[in-house]
Amino acid sequence: MTERSGPLEDVTVIDCSMAFAGPFGTALLADLGANVIKVEPPNGDGFRAIAPHPPDYEHAFRHADAGVDYGMPFAGVNRNKRSISLDLKNPEHVEVFLQLCEQADAVVENMRGGVMDELGLSYEVISARNPRIVYATVRGFGDDRTGVSPYGEWPCLDTAGQAMGGLVEATGDVWDVAIGDIYPGTLMALGLVSAVHKAQLTGTGDFVDVAMYDSALALLRSHIPSYSLTGRERKPGRRPLVPFGLFPATDGRFAVAAPVERHWQALCEVMERPDLITDERTATNPKRSANQQFTEDEVARWTSSRSKQELLDLLGGKVPCGPANSMADIFDDPHVAARQMLEDCELPGDNPTISLPANPIKFVSGSTGLYQRPPLLGEHTAEILAEFGLDPDALDDRVVQPPDD
């Protein structure tokens, strides 16, 4: 793709979010066709500096016309966006920002509560300039406008959100894929689209507030009612569905999910263990759950003598299952190729082509995809100002600087 397209093609989002949670959500919107304008301070989103970096990363700061000023984590959540550099501590730049918001459908930020208010850019100020705008936030513990948390002023990062929201005790560990950022970012995008839809019908915008703590808690959809009924914590590893987890293979781990009786019977047949179908300890899922260790040991004894591919050949299509894929496995998987889930992205300067994860939301129209690489800091400042009918020379004093070491 070379042009922006998709179901959100008519939506313009002013994106002040940085790091991971907010940018993940706005990247989803950009993939779906939204015109996402990334507003960055003069020294840029600090996430730009996170390694690994392309070969001429340092070179980019000395020669603004070449190279790349971001690492791969930034690239992963800022595709299909354009960047404008504004110093929101400068009153003239604040006025430019407000003029952008006047023509936008939504504005997104994930700063600590009160920061935008202190800059003179609160929801109330922006909505006074544009009553139909949707103002969306992702914060650790939410915004006072929707519920005052005793932790409201605290900083929060992914790990803390997962821990306080109950995920760590439920799973036994912190999810290294930053689910504490990814899920609230996704919910923010959903809330924003919902509020924009309403604004298009009513002419009135809204304030959308997503807390990282709340998002982690919301993932525990079965744990919460179970605890409220029994008062008992569900310990990591204890499952009401058995077998349902990872089992050892000769070259890694393999997932097997066969709590449904027809799948359990199919598994037992492939294992050549028909006795387990009628065994009083394993005949039904409640019995397998009560005898979880015995059941899992029997399955593990069988899987542990076979490779992941052998297990896939035996169980694929019969039982919900799959290998625990590494990155190398994923890059070689025919499913990934068939679903076009990796997209090539050419970087400026003397850098190799990289792969970015494609949008998992597919349409028959084929109207979404990568059309623009992640932006350099302030790369589109003049272009965006002109597009909004503003003087490209209005920000003569802007300075693009490398992030602090």
Q: Which of 285, 371, 376 lies closest to 5 in space, CA to CA?
A: 371
The CB density around residue 335, as the number of other CB atoms within 10 Å, is 10
Using H for helix, E for strand and C for coil, what is the string for the chain? Answer: CCCCCCCCCCCEEEECCCCCHHHHHHHHHHHCCCEEEEEECCCCCHHHHCCCCCCCHHHHHHCCCCCCCCCHHHHHHCCCEEEEECCCCCHHHHHHHHHHHHCCCEEEECCCCCHHHHCCCCHHHHHHHCCCCEEEEEECCCCCCCCCCCCCCCCCCHHHHHHHCCHHHHHCCCCCCCHHHHHHHHHHHHHHHHHHHHHHHHCCCEEEEEEHHHHHHHCCCCHHHHHHHHCCCCCCCCCCCCCEEEEEECCEEEEEECCCHHHHHHHHHHHCCCHHHHCCCCCCHHHHHHCHHHHHHHHHHHHCCCCHHHHHHHHCCCCCEEECCCHHHHHHCHHHHHCCCEEEECCCCCCCCEEEECCCCCCCCCCCCCCCCCCCCCCCHHHHHHHCCCCCCCCCCCCCCCCCC
**Which candidate in 31, 87, 105, 181 is catalytic?**
181
Q: Which two tokens stand for residue 404?
A: 């602090």
Q: Which residue's structure tokens are 């650790």?
A: 140
Q: Are 354 and 347 in contact (CB under 8 A)?
A: yes
Tokens of 28: 């989803």
332 has catalytic annotation: no
**Active-site residues: which are they?**
181
